[in-house]
A = this chain, B = another copy of it.
């Protein structure tokens, strides 16, 4: 199996067809060969590259970092300190979000367990939300709030 269609590549690497085309459009994946009718044809190295990208995305690396990592992969002689920096930056970000989410979880838990049923007029959840005494620092909260609500 030297050449495969985009659908096949999609299954091999676990990345949606549309996403592969998107990666091509932003030059994260190079332009593949085309069949006589214009369909994309990929080789096995595309599976490798796409799997790398997917794994890095799963770990939350932004596209730009992945671009850097791929560039570095093609300079095998260089020092890997730069790679380390990128990974540590990512780890630091994840840890920051973890601690923010833990604070959120605590406040939400508190709110929900305070609710004893009853009417809206006495609802502890709404009361907590209206309360000015915030648990989180405004800056941190602003940073994280955009990200949590997104896909629930």
Contacts and interface: CB of A to CB of B under 8 A. Distances in A.
Interface of A: 14, 48, 51-52, 55-63, 65, 69, 72-73, 75-81, 83-84, 87-91, 93-95, 97-98, 101-102, 104-105, 107-109, 111-112, 115, 117-123, 125-126, 128-132, 134, 136, 138, 141-152
A85 to B, nearest CB: 10
Is chain A's interface secondary structure helix, strand, loop, or mixed overall?
helix
A87 B101 contact: no
Q: List 8 tightest A-B contacts by C-beta distance, closest first.
A: A60-B148, A62-B149, A58-B141, A93-B152, A80-B123, A76-B121, A91-B108, A147-B147
Given A61-B149, A62-B152, A83-B123, A101 B109 contact: no
